[in-house]
Amino acid sequence: MSLIRFAGVDFHYGPAGPSASAILKGFDLEIARGEFYVLLGPSGCGKTTALNLLAGFERPNAGTLIMDGRPIGAPGMDRVVIFQGDDSLYPWLTAQENVEFPLRMTGISAGERRRRAKLWLSRVGLANHGQKFPHQLSGGMKQRIQIARALVCDAPVLLMDEPFGALDAQTRTILQDELVAICSGSGATVLFITHDIAEAIILADRIGVMRAGPGSAIKDEFALDLPRPRNRGSVEFAAAYDRIQRVLGEEVRKVVSREAAA
Amino acid sequence: MNAAVRQSLLRSALAVIGFLAIWEVAGRTVFIPAVLPAPSVILGEAWSRAASGLLGVDVAMSASRIIVGFLAGSLLGAGLGLLFGAVEPVRRAFEPIVQFFRFIPPIAWLTPVLIWFGIGEMGKWVLITYTTTFMVLLNTLAGFAEPQRDRMRAARVFGAGPWRAFWHVRLPATVPWILAGMRIGMGNSFQTLIVAEMLASNEGLGHLILNSRIQLSTERMFVGILGIAVLGIAADLGFRALTRRLFSRHRLGW
């Protein structure tokens, strides 16, 4: 029994009609409880739209979107989001206060708030940076604040929209490994968006590759049962990379040739 | 203080001294004092006027008018700006009125204000309040035009309803805009103040300037003119120091 289910979901911006350009068309996806699902696809294909629908930021124009047996409603703490870039952090709050924010909104006492935020800050390696403001921290550290802010909620579902996309390759690798360590055994269900195949293989239980838009949906799925932590240099890793690259590459080439023609 | 700051301070000091020196020489050689008094003459006049207590009265009157009007205008402008920003239909309803009045300079209101409030303090307070309100209101609305999409989305994800999202995200994000509007409004308030004091007042720096012309005392006129500059710089420095301290969490850029 899957925890999250998209069935025949359509989404387009603006009013319906023949001129409406569909982002998603007949989008189907099922994610099992505790599964780490990575959505891969060429840029602009609608990966973030799928995540926004699940978060409740956007509403589907057609189809059903169900989590835990209930239709998706307004955004909430049962499915927390780690945003792309750092525009979701509050620059007037310290790292510690940013992590405390969800607890403050739920009315948890100041002492308990501080204790839990401190715990998560140290788990993401920011124990000594709690009193700093976001602008005093590096890009990687800011994404760590976001991870701590999301995980402090103990949410059953984590939605991550290319959280490491803007980081340099070394920092990205480190954060990927840390995320594997944090998530394994947490029981959380994760939807993770990226266009980086290696990142997908390091993290995923299952990978869905989306078609180039418009009217995108999942083209192919890959289950990965390699043990964790996964070795980026292993033969299995290379084989998985090759299989996925063949499917994704075809979609990326469509986008590139369309852009060249335009 | 690092070397670069010290050097730029030194350069500014040299420029000021050079400017005053040229003015002094010009005032003593080229012009007669009735046309352009030398700085030393103006300083002497300021000193004797301060000693007699007359300058203090003018400065205190001007400063009190600025403070009252500035505070009232800031409160009104920020309050209306936050209301308009938070409630879209209210903003749409009132936007035409704001745009209409925005182009009427405060001084155009001087005559009706005199009819309504007379020559007393209330008229000046109203004019300066009017001046400040529009600057703060328009700047607050400009702050709301910043999308803050992800911050608002995060607030919803992490359990904030509309009211708390406004209080904990929108308001703090708009604070630097409100304060910048207040700073601009303070600058504009001085223009309104001086014209109002010239045309409809018996004390204040504006009155001092106009009255000195009637009395053919150019050096006293310059005491009034330079007094405005000193008062303005003091007000701005005070405002910057106070807001830096009160809003240390926000990067204000001053």
Average pLDDT of span B66-93: 95
Pick the residue with more confidence: A15 or B184? Answer: B184
C-alpha distance from A232 to closest chain B C-alpha (Å): 33
Average pLDDT of span B71-83: 96
User: What are φ and ψ of residue A27, in 5° steps?
Assistant: -80, 120
CB atoms within 10 A of CB A127: 12
Helix (H) or strand (E) holding B83: helix B54-86
Helix (H) or strand (E) holding A247: helix A235-261
Q: Tens digit of pLDDT for each residue in A200-224?
A: 999 999 999 999 988 999 999 999 9
CB atoms within 10 A of CB B37: 24
Q: Rounded CA gap, B91 and A132, in Å?
A: 37
Average pLDDT of span B144-154: 93
Name chain B contacts of A101, Cβ cutoff 8 Å.
158, 168
Question: Could you give the domains of chain A?
Answer: 2-27+34-78+158-261 (3.40.50.300), 88-154 (no CATH)
**Closest alpha carbon within chain B to A134:** B249
Contact A156, A78 (CB under 8 A): yes
- pLDDT, position A18: 64
Name chain A contacts of B156, Cβ cutoff 8 Å.
56, 74-76
Per CATH, the number for B37-246 is: 1.10.3720.10
Helix (H) or strand (E) holding A27: strand A22-32
- Mapping DSSP to helix (H, G, I), strand (E, B) and coil, where does residue A84 land? coil
The pairing of strands A206-210 and A218-223 is antiparallel
Q: Amino acid letter at A163?
A: P
Q: Rounded CA gap, B239 and B234, in Å?
A: 8
Q: Which residue has the tokens 């405002």?
A: B239
Name chain B contacts of A135, Cβ cutoff 8 Å.
251
Name chain A contacts of B151, Cβ cutoff 8 Å.
87-90
Interface-testing mutation among B149, B153, B158, with chain A (most A C-beta atoms within 10 A): B158
* Cβ contact, residue pair B157, A90, below 8 Å: no
Q: Rounded CA gap, B41 and B33, in Å?
A: 8
Contact A67, A143 (CB under 8 A): no
Mean pLDDT over all residues of chain A?
93
- pLDDT, position A1: 72
Query: Which residues, in sequence order, are CB contacts of B20 under 8 Å at separation 6+?
Result: B39
Residue B216 has pLDDT above 90, yes or no: no
Q: Rounded CA gap, A239 and A228, in Å?
A: 16
Q: Rounded CA gap, A107 and A105, in Å?
A: 5
- pLDDT, position A19: 64
User: What are φ and ψ of residue A232, in 5° steps?
Assistant: -65, -15
Contact A85, A160 (CB under 8 A): no
Q: Rounded CA gap, A209 and B138, in Å?
A: 47
Residues in chain A predicted with pLDDT less than 50, given as ranges, are: none
Interface-testing mutation among A94, A101, A132, A135, with chain B (most B C-beta atoms within 10 A): A101
* Cβ contact, residue pair A149, B156, below 8 Å: no
DSSP B73: H
- Torsion angle, alpha carbons of B73, B74, B79, B81, to 10: 100
Contact A66, A72 (CB under 8 A): yes
Domain extent listing, chain B: 1-30, 37-246
* Cβ contact, residue pair A76, B159, below 8 Å: yes
**Closest alpha carbon within chain A to B165:** A105
* Cβ contact, residue pair A87, B151, below 8 Å: yes
Q: What is the CA radius of gyration of chain A?
A: 19
C-alpha distance from B250 to closest chain A C-alpha (Å): 5
Sheet containing A62-67: which strands, arranged edge to edge? Answer: A22-32, A2-12, A62-67, A70-71
Residues of chain B that touch chain A, judged by Cβ-Cβ distance less than 8 Å: 149-151, 153-160, 164, 168-169, 172-173, 175, 249-251
Q: Which residue has the tokens 């050689």?
A: B29
User: What are φ and ψ of residue A3, in 5° steps?
Assistant: -80, -40
- pLDDT, position A12: 92
**Closest alpha carbon within chain B to A54:** B157
Name chain A contacts of B160, Cβ cutoff 8 Å.
105
* Cβ contact, residue pair B153, A91, below 8 Å: no
Mind giving me the DSSP string for B47-69? HHHHHTTHHHHHHHHHHHHHHHH
C-alpha distance from B154 to closest chain A C-alpha (Å): 6
Q: Rounded CA gap, A198 and A203, in Å?
A: 9
C-alpha distance from A236 to closest chain B C-alpha (Å): 38
* Cβ contact, residue pair B154, A55, below 8 Å: no
Q: Tens digit of pLDDT for each residue in B5-45?
A: 999 999 999 999 999 999 999 999 999 988 999 999 999 99
Mean pLDDT over all residues of chain B?
94
Q: Rounded CA gap, B32 and B7, in Å?
A: 37
Q: Rounded CA gap, A42 and B136, in Å?
A: 45
- pLDDT, position B3: 87
Residues of chain A that touch chain B, judged by Cβ-Cβ distance less than 8 Å: 55-57, 74-77, 79-81, 83, 85, 87-93, 101-102, 104-106, 133, 135, 149, 153
Q: Amino acid letter at A180?
A: V
DSSP A212: P
B216 class by beta-carbon count within 10 Å (0-12 exposed, 13-18 middle, 19+ buried) = exposed
Closest CA relative to residue B24, chosen from B13, B41, B38: B38
User: What are φ and ψ of residue B115, in 5° steps?
Assistant: -65, -45
The tokens for A246 are 């063949």
Q: Tens digit of pLDDT for each residue in A141-177?
A: 999 999 999 999 999 999 999 999 989 999 999 999 9
pLDDT interval class at B117 (50, 70, 90): very high
* Cβ contact, residue pair A77, B157, below 8 Å: yes
Name chain A contacts of B172, Cβ cutoff 8 Å.
90, 92
**Closest alpha carbon within chain B to A106:** B159
